[in-house]
Each structure stands twice: as C-alpha cells, then as structure tokens.
Amino acid sequence: MAHPPVTVVKVAAPIEVAIRDSEPRDLPEIHRIYTFAVENGTGSFEESPPTLDDMAARRQTVLDRALPFLVAEYRGNVVGYAYAGPFRPRSAYRYTLEDSVYVAPEVRGLGTGRALLRELVARCSALGYRQMIAVIGDSANTASINAHAATGFAHIGTLKQVGLKFGQWLDSVYMQRALGNDEPDACP
C-alpha cells in the first residue's frame, strides 16, 4: 500500500505537524533531538550520544530493511522522529518490530509522538508485520507510556531496575500491539 509522501496531522492547538519519510538532510536535527534525549532523559539507556555519522548509519540500517524512518515537521523544522527495527535478530521474530520515537523538547506534550507512532503503526501494518513492541526506558516515563497506550499498545511487563543511568536504577516497560492481520492462526 502506497503512503502519501506527507501526512499532515493536527496534534494540539495551535500546532500542526507534517509527517514524512526522513531524508539525509534531516540528520542534523534527528541527531540534535536524540542527543538531548540521551543527555537529559532516561527514555534511552544510552549514556553517551552517538555521533552524527553513527545516526546516519542507524538510519541507513533501518532503510536497508525497507522499514519506515519518519520525521515530524513543524514550520519547516524537524521536531520529532520515529522508526521501526527488528525486535530480535533471530529469524522466528521476523514479523515483530520494535518502535523508537523521540520528540524535540520544545514540542513535548503536544501530541507529536502520538502522531508519529500512529503513522509508524499504519506503515508497518501495511508492510505485513504482525506485532510491534515498545521497550520504554524508565517506568516514570509516563509521556511515552501514555502515547503508546493511546495508540493501542497494552502493558505486558516491566523489567525492574535493569538499567543504571544518572546514578539511579531504572526499569524497562514493555508494551505490545498487534499490527495488520492479528488472527492467531494466520501464517504467511
């Protein structure tokens, strides 16, 4: 199923974002957003931000798998991004993806993450994937937990105190939702 190059979504008054496929020119803003998340938050368990070249390589790995790597634009500026990657490397997991969503601090709480996640789910469903897993850093990360819940994800478990960042032990919250055809016996 073909997707329009740009989906315009009203997320919260007065903000309206355009969601589109990422392009190489977006990498500096993607890097800025992720660097802020790594250095200031517990949503990512990375402790040192990757380089711009590392981010470019990560994006290319996603694209090489023909998976979506999206950005949200507001007034011509990238204010968030989302992508899907394999949940686990073993072949039996090949129809299950893990999502990643990051939003610039200046637009947090306005629905940009939810809009990105909805589009990501739609695109991955259209590609024939069956399940999407969210691995959310820090059980206190209610913004991400709520965005996933609002997008149809259910809480399936919490790994207690599995990450150490900023001198504190952090949980990982697991959430899951079905994609596309979720009939239990329907196999490709």
> What confidence tier does 103 reach under pLDDT thresholds 50, 70, 90?
very high
DSSP 1: -
- Contact, 84 vs 124, CB < 8 A? yes
- Contact, 104 vs 41, CB < 8 A? no
What is the average pLDDT across 54-60? 98
> What confidence tier does 16 reach under pLDDT thresholds 50, 70, 90?
confident
Longest pairwise C-alpha distance within the chain: 46
The boundaries of the domain holding residue 61 are: 6-178
The enclosing domain of 112 has a CATH number of 3.40.630.30
Does residue 187 sit within a domain? no
Does residue 117 sit within a domain? yes
Does residue 184 sit within a domain? no
Does residue 43 sit within a domain? yes
E-only strand ranges, 5-153? 6-12, 15-21, 69-74, 77-86, 96-103, 131-137
Does residue 150 sit within a domain? yes
Does residue 15 sit within a domain? yes
Does residue 119 sit within a domain? yes
Cα dihedral 109→115→120→123 (10° resolution)? 180
Residue 33 has pLDDT above 80, yes or no: yes
Residue 112, pLDDT score: 94
Does residue 188 sit within a domain? no
Q: Which residues contact 85 (CB under 8 A, 6 or more apart)?
A: 61, 62, 65, 67, 97, 98, 100
DSSP 29: H
pTM: 0.90
Condensed to tens digits (0 to 9), the pLDDT of residues 60-89 reads: 999 999 999 999 999 899 999 999 999 999
Residue 9 has pLDDT above 80, yes or no: no
Q: Look at the chain and report how many structural domains it folds into.
A: 1
